[in-house]
Amino acid sequence: MTAGATSKRPTIREVAQLAGVSHQTVSRYLRRNGGLKAATVAKIDAAVAELDYQPDLVARAMRTRRLGTVAVLIPGWSSHVFQRELSAACLAARSAGFRVEIVVEVGGSRARRERVRALLGGRQVEGVLSLAPLGHVDDPAGQEYGGAVVVSADFDDEMRNIGALADGSPAAEIVEYLASLGHRHFLHVAGHPAFASARSRRLAYSHAIERLGLVSHGVVGFDWGPKVGYESLAALPADSEVTAIVAANDEVAIGAMRAARERGWAVPGRVSVFGWDDLRVGEYSTPSLSTVSVDRELRGGFAMRQLIAVVRGEEPPPVPEAGLNRLLLRESTGPAP
């Protein structure tokens, strides 16, 4: 490049020429409408990469009156609670050709409603996926807000699981599974009662114990960290009949396994331990931890595909047949002694 020369932005026609296709085909590729042959997509991919082509999003928005941007509204920020769900939602949006803006609004449902109105009324985005309740939504087409709105009410104002993510029914499946291995004496180390998920799991556990005629030696703990699991198992008397621990989550379960090891109680030989959440560390603990896998990716991806369908005026995607929760059976559970 000569001195003083400016770089010229590659055009869609140059991409088409290099790829050996029409510019209409490249335009279709950029809109991600589908229907292109894999070989054609590969050629355009290569041309886009070679030319470092970047579409002029502002010009496209002016031409098509489409912004190509959606927002995900969350009620706060947490280290890991929602990241898997949010990542899946962003991936689904990008796959459909949309950019994603993450918007944090910590002021409660009324503040979230006002933020949605501002985002859509000001033409900042084409649609909003809210991961917390808005209080009410008259219709997903967004007549109340001036654009497309989908609410996947999975978190409350404190970023605690609600709705489908607070489903505690797998606790009953855990009890049933352990009972099938001969366990009759149980202990539930519960999560903090301020969480709907903790209350739901405790209720499902208690109902299953009663229905199956088993013995519960208490509901203890009432927190989420490994310390409460450690202390709960350490507090059991030496002659305790408990052989099965249903823990509030994987961290609690790992704490309980540590206490069992220090007491000389083999896991699962003396006591079986079941966790919840399928944290990666549980797969590599010794023994590996039986747990409940929560498919947060399924939840986030489906919610975003719902929003994209509303934005485009298309039929909504089919509801996934697979459930969010499934039991993962590993080394920490075995037959009753």
pLDDT digits (tens, 9 = 90+) for 105-116: 988 888 999 999
Share of the chain above pLDDT 70, in %: 88
Q: Where in the chain is the domain with CATH 3.40.50.2300?
A: 67-159+298-324, 166-294
262: buried, middle or exposed (CB in 10 Å: 19+, 13-18, 0-12)?
exposed
Average pLDDT over all residues of the chain: 87
233: buried, middle or exposed (CB in 10 Å: 19+, 13-18, 0-12)?
buried
pLDDT digits (tens, 9 = 90+) for 121-139: 877 899 999 999 988 654 4
Angstrom CA distances, 236 to 182, 187, 239, stand at 20, 10, 8
Band of residue 189 on the pLDDT scale cut at 50, 70, 90:
very high
- Kindly state the tokens that stand for 297: 């990716």
Q: Render 152-195 in DSSP notation, one character per residue.
A: ---B-TTS-B-GGGG--THHHHHHHHHHHTT--EEEEEE--TTS
Q: When comparing pLDDT for 247 and 36, which is higher?
A: 247
Q: How far apart are CA 320 and CA 17, in angstroms?
A: 41
Q: When comparing pLDDT for 333 and 1, which is higher?
A: 333
> Model-level pTM?
0.75
Query: Would you mind telling me the total number of residues written for the chain in this entry?
Result: 337
**What end-to-end distance do the CA atoms of the chain give, in Å?**
78
- Helix/strand/coil for 31: helix
Which range of 40-49, 67-76, 130-139, 253-262 scores highest in mean pLDDT? It is 253-262
Lowest model confidence (mean pLDDT) among 46-50, 75-79, 82-86, 90-94 = 75-79
Provide CATH code, domain 166-294: 3.40.50.2300
Q: How far apart are CA 274 and CA 325, in angstroms?
A: 14
Cα angle 91, 98, 102; round to 5: 70
Ordered alpha helix ranges (H), 187-319? 196-212, 226-234, 250-263, 280-284, 296-312
Q: How far apart are CA 16 and CA 27, in angstroms?
A: 9
pLDDT digits (tens, 9 = 90+) for 148-180: 999 988 888 887 888 888 999 999 999 999 999
Q: Which residues pair with 71 in a beta bridge?
A: 101, 128
Which range of 89-98, 226-235, 316-325 scores highest in mean pLDDT? It is 226-235
Average pLDDT over residues 80-94: 85
Third-level CATH fold of 67-159+298-324: Rossmann fold (3.40.50)
Residue type, 143: Q
Average pLDDT over residues 259-283: 97
The pLDDT of residue 67: 65
Q: Render 89-106 in DSSP notation, one character per residue.
A: HHHHHHHTT-EEEEEE--
pLDDT digits (tens, 9 = 90+) for 305-325: 999 999 988 888 888 877 889
- Kindly state the tokens that stand for 234: 């350490």
Ordered alpha helix ranges (H), 1-82? 12-19, 23-31, 38-51, 57-64
Query: Is the bond leading into 318 cis (omega within 30 degrees of zero)?
Result: no
